[in-house]
């Protein structure tokens, strides 16, 4: 009889444990979040770890400048607790998407607190920056109601500075900790590890760029995305297109760039994974410059590619520039 009572007690305990498992599992469900593009999504995943489920709207090798939201994207946004965006008018399509999705979660601007670089477009580009200049860094909080894929008065590509990526990590960590305080310590621990890697990467890139001769620090790329990188590491970037890959390069801009390359003996141009390479190939042919490689300014590569993560992307870009310009 005692053996039977013991068996019954064990069975009851097993049933009770089984009954509470779904509740415990449900309570530890990852927080569903949205990131607008792949680089931002990677940083969110790095901070959130297993405690977030990240859906990225503009995926790997995708161009956020020309992105067109889909019904599937609206569904994903409607189900998310947090929506992470870059801000600085990078996502001109996001306000319409969030309204269509009736998004009622938390909107987090990853560039909050960053002092952006002002952008002065060429006279023949579509420039609507001046009318927004007084808004400062509030661009991410309210996209202009008629904005499409063009940018305004500031360069939004702040992630191309590892120093500024620390601010991205800070804003992401604070938002996740507020949404899921139970795992806040894990988020801050993940942030600390990520920031340590950013600082090491910054030193590594600085060493590579400092080693370049002064006369070989002019870089020609497809569109004007590298101003933060240029400021950090003492380079000059030239591009036939403006801040957006959706803008058209004028014949005058292309002719001026070709003339500059000939005068300054610029020997290499760099294509981008998110931009059509034909114009750069034409410029290379007309100037005798070589194609120095592919840069990744706004999207990760596929997982088996050279820019599978944000840290990989930055290291690949710097290494590609160093090898082409230093030789």
Q: What CATH number is given to the structural domain containing 246?
A: 3.40.50.1980
Same domain, residue pair 244 and 178: no
Same domain, residue pair 220 and 301: yes
| 1 domain residue, yes or no | no
pLDDT of amino acid 18: 37
| 47 domain residue, yes or no | yes
Same domain, residue pair 159 and 85: yes
Cα–Cα distance for residue pair 103/69, rounded to 1 Å: 14
Q: Is residue 257 exposed (0-12), middle (13-18) or buried (19+ Cβ within 10 Å)?
A: buried
Neighbours of 161 (CB within 10 A): 25
| 72 domain residue, yes or no | yes
Same domain, residue pair 124 and 233: no
Cα–Cα distance for residue pair 52/8, rounded to 1 Å: 40
Same domain, residue pair 226 and 151: no
E-only strand ranges, the chain: 31-37, 52-58, 82-85, 106-109, 218-220, 236-238, 268-272, 290-295
| 57 domain residue, yes or no | yes
Same domain, residue pair 104 and 176: yes
Q: If you compute the radius of gyration of the chain from its CA atoms, what whole number of angstroms results?
A: 24
Same domain, residue pair 114 and 216: no
| 12 domain residue, yes or no | no
Same domain, residue pair 149 and 210: no
| 3 domain residue, yes or no | no
Same domain, residue pair 171 and 270: no
Cβ proximity of 120 and 153 under 8 Å: no
Same domain, residue pair 36 and 91: yes
pLDDT of amino acid 100: 95
Residue 311 structural domain:
204-326
| 85 domain residue, yes or no | yes
Q: How many domains does the chain have?
A: 2
Chain segment 69-124, per-residue pLDDT in tens: 999 999 999 999 999 999 999 999 999 999 999 999 999 999 999 999 997 643 33
pTM: 0.81
pLDDT of amino acid 223: 78
Q: Is residue 19 exposed (0-12), middle (13-18) or buried (19+ Cβ within 10 Å)?
A: exposed
Q: Out of 149, 183, 217, pick the residue that ends a domain.
A: 183
What residues contact residue 56 under an 8 Å CB cut-off, 6+ apart?
A: 34, 35, 36, 37, 38, 40, 41
Cα–Cα distance for residue pair 296/314, rounded to 1 Å: 8
pLDDT of amino acid 219: 93
pLDDT of amino acid 244: 55
| 7 domain residue, yes or no | no
Same domain, residue pair 106 and 213: no
Ranges of the chain whose pLDDT falls below 50: 1-26, 121-151
CA nearest 38: which of 302, 317, 304?
302
pLDDT of amino acid 248: 66
């Amino acid at each position: 009889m005692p053996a039977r009572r013991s068996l019954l007690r064990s069975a009851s305990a097993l049933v009770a444990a089984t009954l509470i498992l779904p509740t415990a599992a449900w309570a530890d469900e990852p927080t569903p979040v949205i990131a607008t593009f792949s680089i931002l999504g990677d940083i969110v995943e790095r901070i959130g770890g297993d405690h977030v489920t990240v859906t990225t709207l503009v995926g790997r090798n995708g161009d956020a400048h020309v992105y067109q939201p889909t019904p599937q994207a609206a569904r994903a946004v409607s189900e998310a607790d947090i929506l992470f965006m870059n801000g600085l008018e990078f996502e001109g399509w996001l306000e319409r998407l969030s309204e269509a999705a009736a998004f009622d979660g938390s909107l987090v601007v990853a560039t909050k607190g960053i002092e952006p670089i002002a952008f002065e477009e060429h006279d023949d580009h579509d420039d609507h920056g001046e009318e927004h200049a007084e808004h400062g860094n509030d661009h991410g909080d309210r996209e202009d109601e008629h904005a499409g894929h063009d940018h305004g008065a500031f360069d939004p590509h702040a992630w191309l500075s590892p120093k500024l990526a620390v601010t991205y990590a800070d804003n992401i960590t604070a938002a996740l900790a507020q949404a899921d305080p139970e795992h806040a310590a894990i988020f801050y621990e993940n942030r600390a590890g990520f920031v340590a890697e950013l600082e090491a990467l910054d030193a590594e890139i600085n060493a590579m760029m400092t080693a370049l001769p002064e006369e070989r620090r002019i870089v020609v790329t497809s569109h004007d995305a590298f101003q933060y990188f240029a400021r950090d590491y003492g380079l000059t970037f030239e591009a036939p297109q403006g801040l957006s890959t959706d803008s058209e390069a004028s014949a005058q801009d292309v002719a001026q760039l070709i003339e500059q390359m000939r005068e300054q003996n610029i020997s290499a141009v760099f294509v981008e994974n998110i931009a059509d390479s034909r114009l750069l190939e034409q410029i290379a042919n007309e100037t005798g410059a070589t194609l120095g490689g592919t840069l990744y300014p706004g999207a990760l590569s596929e997982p088996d590619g050279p820019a599978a993560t944000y840290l990989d992307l930055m290291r690949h870009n710097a290494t590609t520039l160093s090898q082409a310009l230093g030789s």
